[in-house]
Amino acid sequence: MKILYLTDQVYLHGGIEKVLSQKANYFADSSGDEVFIVTYNQEGKTPVYDFSSKIIWEDLAINYEIGKSYFHPKNLKKIPKHISALKDVLGKINPDVVISSSFGPDFYFLPYIRKNSPKIKEFHGSRYFYEKQESGFKKRLLHLLNKIIEKKYTSIAVLNEDEQNFYTNDNIAVIPNPAEISDKRAGLKSKKIMAAGRISPVKNFGDLIEIFSKISKDFPEWELHFFGEDYLGTQQLLEHKIAEFGLQNQIKFKGNVPDLKSEMQNYSIYAMTSETECFPMVLLESLSIGLPIISYDCPTGPKYIVKNEEDSFLIPNKNLDIFTEKLKLLMENEQLRQELSKRGLENVSRFEINIVMKQWQNLFEKVSSSGKK
């Protein structure tokens, strides 16, 4: 089968890029499929993750200005070139199935190009707040347009059961992200807590700083470390908050690292206080090396990954008091961390890549045999 993935780029660290490498490598190396990855903003840069040498690459060289909206005039004028280039590459490759991985301008015109090729749109984020937010006329109009376009895809793929309620396509598949199972293991003896992700408001790291401040005096030897790149000056705001609590020696920013899972081996607890998460890869990575998790039950994804009080603590959303109580329990009880770790290693097997990719294979067969749009 010829499988073609569309995405903007693969040179930045991110969940979409990481999962794309897992899936594309699986089909290229394990299933023997012919795999193509077509980008439009790669700019000749090296992929950040390892990809199979069997994958065939093509960059359309549209090079949108990523600091601006796709609806900015400077980007809008590049869309005709994008449409033409995409028509050419789909005509040349003639794929059996096309999967749109990232969200960009091609979302709006892909269904109308080479209609005989089934097209699947992946959604990696949560639509929880997207659906609930109050907005002006322009945003409501855009939301309506998005819903009209998404119905034009052969299928929509979402990451958990809650998310399928936010879409109107008649063919919605719920397929989780795969976990990478390895021999790496968290030591669980260090007095360090980890949190990771882009340093942005949606990650809500401020809550975690406040929670840690409530118990830091009881655990002066413990540290809280944040991994990830800064977004729009959010880190500076958090550093001011840390200074207000006088915790500069216990809370540190570690930046980006090439292999987060290797770093995880040096920690004893993974903590998440995000505003929203659809299917956070970092929780899969934590479970896969036996790193105990404490997380808000934020909309909509963590509850589909962790099992409360079995391999992790899932805290009622925004409840700082309960989060503080359970975090303190984890910090003072190594035996509990060991027990959670053991069960996490067992439970993560349900996301093993062979199991997840079988679901993708079934979806490809379904859209290919049900009639091409």
Residues ≥6 apart with Cβ < 8 Å to 53: none
The pLDDT of residue 10? 95
The pLDDT of residue 266? 97
- Residue 276 identity: T
Please classify residue 322 by burial: count the beta carbons closer than 10 Å to its beta carbon, then call 0-12 exposed, 13-18 middle and 19+ buried. middle
Which residue's structure tokens are 């023997």? Answer: 32
344 Cα distance to chain centroid: 20
Contact 323, 266 (CB under 8 A): no
The pLDDT of residue 133? 58
- Residue 128: left if φ>0, alpha if ψ -120 to 50, beta else—which one? alpha
Please give the structure tokens belonging to residue 124: 């990696």
Separation of alpha carbons 294 and 298, rounded Å: 12
The strand ranges marked E within 7-55 are 34-39
**Strand 56-59's sheet: what is its strand order?**
56-59, 34-39, 2-6, 97-100, 119-122, 155-158, 172-174
Report whether the peptide linkage leading into residue 300 is cis, meaning its omega lies within 30 degrees of zero: yes
The strand ranges marked E within 103-234 are 119-122, 155-158, 172-174, 192-196, 223-227
Please give the structure tokens belonging to residue 271: 């903590």
Separation of alpha carbons 257 and 124, rounded Å: 22
**DSSP state string for 88-104:** HHHHHH--SEEEE-S-S
Secondary structure element (H or E) that encloses residue 262, with its range: helix 260-264
The pLDDT of residue 134? 55
Please give the structure tokens belonging to residue 62: 């549209």
Give the residue from 194, 182, 158 showing the smallest Cα distance to 22: 182
Residues ≥6 apart with Cβ < 8 Å to 177: 15, 19, 22, 159, 279, 281, 284, 351, 356
Contact 293, 274 (CB under 8 A): no
Please classify residue 86 by burial: count the beta carbons closer than 10 Å to its beta carbon, then call 0-12 exposed, 13-18 middle and 19+ buried. buried
Please give the structure tokens belonging to residue 71: 């609806």
The pLDDT of residue 373? 43
Please classify residue 190 by burial: count the beta carbons closer than 10 Å to its beta carbon, then call 0-12 exposed, 13-18 middle and 19+ buried. middle
* Phi, then psi, of 241 in degrees rounded to 5: -65, -40
**Strand 312-315's sheet: what is its strand order?**
251-255, 223-227, 192-196, 269-272, 293-296, 312-315
Could you say which residues of the chain have pLDDT below 50?
Answer: 372-373
Which residue's structure tokens are 């929203």? Answer: 276
The pLDDT of residue 125? 86
> What is the DSSP pairing of strand 293-296 with strand 312-315?
parallel
Please give the structure tokens belonging to residue 275: 């505003």
- Residue 63 identity: N
Which residues make beta-bridge pairs with 38? 6, 58
* Phi, then psi, of 295 in degrees rounded to 5: -145, 145
- Residue 23 identity: K
